[in-house]
């Protein structure tokens, strides 16, 4: 067995140019897998940023709820009906709507996601007292510092203590735009459906979007008393509230959002398809190399059989070559992916991050890919006959 490792290596580097080209091909496949998994994770992680920052234990949404950006509403009275349960400590309504923000330099309008919150019972965790005090005024707003650049240098000017005025309008152009002064910044981030966010109080929200009814709520945030079990309260509320709403734990709320983006949107299907295609391409690249290598050394393999080496030894040699290709191709592919991740994260503000789990997943995938290629390639090795050396 010890002698088979140098044999596998020597056969691979016998033609150095082909070996280097092969490693480049596998490294490209590795980088492709990393990119697809990276953007897929960014899709899911960015889609649930709001869910993770809400302060409640349970969440009330419409029975027709599909995703955060689909904007389904339910009656506000449903949220207050939950207060009849002694385990419920507080409730907070959250309003959401897409609007248009005019770039403060060019005047071009871009889609922005606007949150309307209750200042007395804020639904988000990270808002401090100064921000909440500012939102008490109808002409004040908070801007997401991680919004994309098309809205203009709002964050930069605010951080330089300059007065920043923005115009927000609904998609109904008949309604006049409303002017807000940026009174603070918060950090939420973008997603595949949201390029930037703004936060105002609920009264200002209804004034900006007159098509939204005061008795309608997008998400109800339910905070429980200390010691109350979320699953138990969820069951009680589900049994007592009408069927036009559903009550979700945080985990279920996040899972529902991820499921929507994964199964019900073209982008989720595209990412899964590209990962599959990348894997198939990698199998093809590795198979071609291993098959060609076996074909070029078929007489040598026949000679080894003739002098007493068993098929098991020869098969181990092929699988060791597959492992060498997988590991040596993974290393440059990893470095390429890290560089691309950094560029993509800077350009899109999406959470495209290299993680240990992702690295292990790709490494295992590449090993399986090359091993599968070896399984196909050894069919040629089985035809090696000692009689071929004569």
Q: What are the pLDDT digits (tens) for 173-202?
A: 556 788 999 999 999 989 888 999 999 999
Same domain, 78 and 191: yes
Q: Is residue 168 situated within a structural domain?
A: yes
Q: Is residue 260 situated within a structural domain?
A: no
Same domain, 216 and 85: yes
Higher-scoring residue by pLDDT: 246, 293: 246
Half-sphere exposure at residue 324, Cβ-oriented, CA atoms within 13 angstroms:
21
CA dist 51 and 194 (Å) reads 14
Same domain, 196 and 299: no
Same domain, 109 and 37: no
- pLDDT at residue 388, as a whole number: 54
Same domain, 287 and 365: yes
Q: Does 2 have pLDDT greater than 60? A: no
Same domain, 337 and 236: no
Q: Does 4 have pLDDT greater than 80? A: no
Q: Is residue 36 situated within a structural domain?
A: yes
Q: Is residue 69 situated within a structural domain?
A: yes
What value does the mean pLDDT of the chain take? 86
What percentage of the chain reaches a pLDDT higher than 90? 48
Q: Is residue 250 situated within a structural domain?
A: no
Residue ranges making up the domain that contains 330: 4-46+266-389
How buried is 329 (Cβ within 10 angstroms: 0-12 exposed, 13-18 middle, 19+ buried)?
A: buried
Q: Is residue 311 situated within a structural domain?
A: yes
Same domain, 74 and 102: yes
**Residue 339 pLDDT level (bands cut at 50, 70, 90):** very high
Same domain, 39 and 69: no
> Which helix (H) or strand (E) element contains residue 18?
helix 16-47
Residue 201 neighbours by CB under 8 Å, 6+ apart: 116, 117, 118, 119, 135, 136, 138
Q: Is residue 100 situated within a structural domain?
A: yes
**Residue 377 pLDDT level (bands cut at 50, 70, 90):** confident
CA dist 155 and 168 (Å) reads 16
Same domain, 27 and 166: no
* CA–CA distances in Å: residue 314 to residues 10, 146, 263, 310: 14, 56, 44, 7
Same domain, 88 and 234: yes
Q: Report the number of distinct structural domains present in the chain.
A: 2
């Amino acid at each position: 067995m010890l002698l088979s490792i140098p044999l596998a290596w020597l056969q691979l580097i016998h033609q150095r140019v082909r070996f280097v080209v092969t490693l480049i091909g596998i490294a490209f496949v590795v980088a492709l897998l990393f990119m697809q998994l990276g953007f897929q994770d960014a899709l899911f992680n960015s889609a649930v940023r709001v869910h993770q920052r809400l302060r409640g234990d349970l969440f009330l949404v419409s029975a027709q709820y599909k995703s955060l950006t689909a904007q389904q509403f339910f009656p506000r009275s449903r949220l207050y009906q939950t207060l009849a349960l002694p385990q419920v400590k507080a409730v907070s309504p959250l309003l959401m709507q897409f609007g248009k923000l005019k770039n403060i330099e060019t005047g071009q309008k871009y889609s922005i996601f606007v949150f309307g919150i209750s200042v007395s019972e804020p639904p988000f965790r990270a808002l401090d007292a100064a921000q909440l005090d500012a939102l008490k005024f109808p002409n004040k707003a908070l801007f997401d510092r991680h919004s994309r650049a098309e809205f203009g240098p709002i964050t930069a000017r605010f951080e330089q203590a300059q007065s920043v005025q923005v115009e927000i309008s609904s998609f109904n152009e008949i309604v006049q735009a409303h002017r807000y002064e940026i009174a603070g910044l918060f950090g939420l981030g973008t997603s595949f459906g949201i390029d930037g966010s703004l936060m105002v109080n609920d009264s200002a929200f209804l004034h900006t979007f007159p098509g939204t009814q005061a008795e309608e709520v997008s998400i109800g945030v339910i905070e429980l008393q200390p010691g109350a079990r979320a699953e138990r309260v969820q069951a009680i509320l589900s049994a007592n509230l009408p069927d036009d709403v559903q009550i979700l734990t945080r985990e279920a709320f996040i899972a529902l959002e991820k499921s929507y983006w994964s199964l019900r949107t073209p982008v989720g299907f595209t990412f899964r398809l590209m990962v599959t295609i990348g894997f198939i391409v990698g199998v093809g690249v590795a198979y071609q190399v291993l098959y060609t290598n076996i074909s070029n050394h078929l007489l040598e393999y026949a000679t080894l059989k003739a002098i007493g080496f068993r098929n098991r030894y020869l098969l181990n040699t092929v699988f060791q070559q597959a492992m060498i290709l997988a590991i040596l191709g993974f290393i440059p592919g990893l470095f390429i992916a890290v560089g691309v991740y950094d560029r993509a994260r800077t350009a899109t503000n999406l959470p495209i991050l290299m993680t240990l789990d992702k690295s292990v997943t790709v490494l295992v995938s590449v090993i399986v890919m090359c091993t599968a290629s070896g399984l196909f390639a050894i069919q040629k090795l089985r035809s090696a006959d000692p009689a071929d050396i004569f």
